[in-house]
Structure 1
Amino acid sequence: MCEANAYFVRNGEEELIMESVDLIEPESDDTWRLVGIFGDRKTIKGRIKQMNLVDHKILFEQ
C-alpha cells in the first residue's frame, strides 16, 4: 500500500489529521483537500513541511 498518514506539526509534536491518505489536491493558497482510501475527505489549511514516503508520513504546518 502506498498511502500515508497526514499530521500537523505543532510545537515539535505531530498531531494526526487523517489516516490512509491516498490523494492530496491543492484548493487554493495553503488549502489542501485530503482524500482517504475509503473516499473520506478533509480540507485543511496549512503548508506542506515534509513528505516522508518511506515512513508514510505527510507533515503540514500552519
Structure 2
Amino acid sequence: MCESTVYLIDKNGKESLFFELVDKIVPDQNTVYLEDILGQKKSIQARIKELALVDHRIVLEEIGE
C-alpha cells in the first residue's frame, strides 16, 4: 500500500490528522488538492512542509488570512 496520511499544522502550530489514505496531491499556488483511494477529495490553503514517503506521512502547514 502506497497511501499516505496527511497531517495539518494550524496557525497556532498544533498538528492534527487531516486526511487518510491519500494517493494524490496536487499543489497549486496557495492551495493543495488531495484525493484518497476512494475518490474523496479535499482542498486546503496550505503549503507542503514535509514529505516522509517511507513513513507514508505528509505534513501541510496552513496558510491564509
- TM-score tier (shorter): 0.7 to 0.9
Matched with 2:49 is 49
TM-score by length of 2: 0.83
Aligned length, in residue pairs: 60
TM-score by length of 1: 0.86
- C-alpha RMSD of the superposition: 1.1
Query: 2-side partners of 1:19 and 1:44: how far apart?
Result: 15
Matched with 1:58 is 58
Matched with 1:8 is 8
Residue segments in structure 1 that go unaligned for 5+ positions in a row: none
The reply to whether residue 21 of structure 1 matches residue 22 of structure 2 is: yes
Sequence identity (%):
43
Residue segments in structure 2 that go unaligned for 5+ positions in a row: none
Query: 1-side partners of 2:45 and 2:17: how far apart?
Result: 14
Instruction: Give the strand-richer structure, 1 or 2.
Output: 1
Query: 1-side partners of 2:15 and 2:48: how far apart?
Result: 13
Q: Which runs of 4+ in 1 moved over 4 A?
A: none
